Amino acid sequence: MKIFRQPLHELITKKLHKAGLTEEHAAGVADVLVHADIRGIHSHGAMRVEYYAERIAKGGLNTKPDFEFNKTGPSTAIFDGDNGVGHVAAKLAMDEAIEMAREHGIAAVGVRRIGHSGALSYFVRQAAKSGMIGISMCQSDPMVVPFGGSEPYYGTNPIAFAAPSHDGRIMTLDMATTIQAWGKILHARSRHESIPDSWAVDKEGHSTTDPFKVNALLPIAGPKGYGLMMMVDVLSGILLGLPFGNKVSSMYHDLTEYRNLGQFHLVINPAFFTDPDMFKQHISDTMNDLNHIKPAPGFEQVLFPGQNNDLIQEQYEKNGIEMVDDIYEYLISDVVHRNQYDNKDPFAK
């Protein structure tokens, strides 16, 4: 079925408020989830609502967090999320980072003690909409085998980047350091679709196309992805004095407990390095250059990073967002949650 942006936002807000969030924080989470869905990143959209609702209802997220922002230097700061919803904490931390970079040229803000924060592209695009470069990364629970290993140690540990152009478009990269994000596996499960055999392995360590048999994910580009997920873990975990590696809390183990996750924002103000208008013009030129490169056989056009999501958003804004029927039925129901996630093996059905 299809649903438009505003009705979806209202349904998500209502459900999360009923679960126990303040209406303001419920709406803040809805902002990030709808952003994901309308850009075709369904793995981080409305399909996450019931999981959040169950964790909120069971006390695993602080519904009235005491957010605290402490500047530790002219361009550095720590935002303590007090284990509230990560979406709201990360958004507010990025707002602070943007203001710091506006004044000092660059800002590095560690966001500590938060819950899951959703699609990182939302936060880096905040910076880009303010005329700046945004970079963000965060830890996640261990479900990836390190290169050469047979047991999970790191999480999918995503990285995002965004830069503004002269004509309002935004160059956007949002990637897991695995070949594919865990949410994509969940999305395939929700649709009962197969997955490429390069995404994950089963309990025996063999490649699998069955999303229900996945027991661990694989790092992107082998040792290179492994190195990137290490970097993310250091910057968003060890640097902030938080649990790291296979000590990062599980998304599903005991939904009554806080997760204490970390995220790291870096914002760069182009005006401190070059002419800002020229910078944005050159981003536009890059986008246009890429679009005009001769496509390889089987491709219609070379797209710049994030352009595919832009095209999806254009269609969804016009025609409505594609929504799995079961997820929509849950959103319109009176059910807060169906006790599906607590103490669940993340790789279980």
Residues with a catalytic annotation lie at 116
The sign of the torsion formed by the CA atoms of 172, 284, 309, 132 equals positive
Rg (Cα) of the chain, in Å, rounded? Answer: 20
Query: Tokens at residue 235, please?
Result: 């910057």
**Beta carbons within 10 angstroms of residue 72's beta carbon:** 11
Tell me how far apart the alpha carbons of residues 215 and 51 are, in angstroms, rounded to a whole number: 20
Residue carrying the six token digits 């409305």 = 46
- Interstrand relation of 170-175 and 159-164 (parallel, antiparallel or unpaired): antiparallel
Residue among 72, 73, 92 nearest 82 (CA)? 92
55 membership: H or E segment, kind and range: helix 49-57
Q: DSSP secondary-structure letter at 173?
A: E
For residue 4, give the DSSP letter: -
Q: Which amino acid is at 201?
A: V
